[in-house]
Amino acid sequence: MDNEADGKLAYSIAECAEKLGISVCLCRELVRQKRIPALRLGERRLIVPKAALEKMLTEAAAGQEQAKDEAQKGQK
């Protein structure tokens, strides 16, 4: 994700999808599955907090690195 200083605290679903390089439909599905953290404002509006999205991506990257390290240890 870009480290741009866009000044936003949260993204719309469309903005989140654009940042992640995925479709809006997939982004909505991942929010529904609670794989992307989101907040509901009113009955229809969903927003993705920037800090929560960045934390989710950091944790996912760390998990992949850990799995990669474990797989390499298993091959030795």
Domain ranges of the chain: 10-75
Query: What does pLDDT average to over the chain?
Result: 89
Per-residue model confidence (pLDDT) at position 17: 97
Give the architecture (CATH level 2) of 10-75.
Answer: Orthogonal Bundle (1.10)
Confidence of residue 22 (pLDDT cuts 50, 70, 90): very high
- 3-state SS record for the chain: CCCCCCCCCEEEHHHHHHHHCCCHHHHHHHHHCCCCCCEEECCCEEEEEHHHHHHHHHHHHHHHHHHHHHHHHHHC
Confidence of residue 76 (pLDDT cuts 50, 70, 90): low
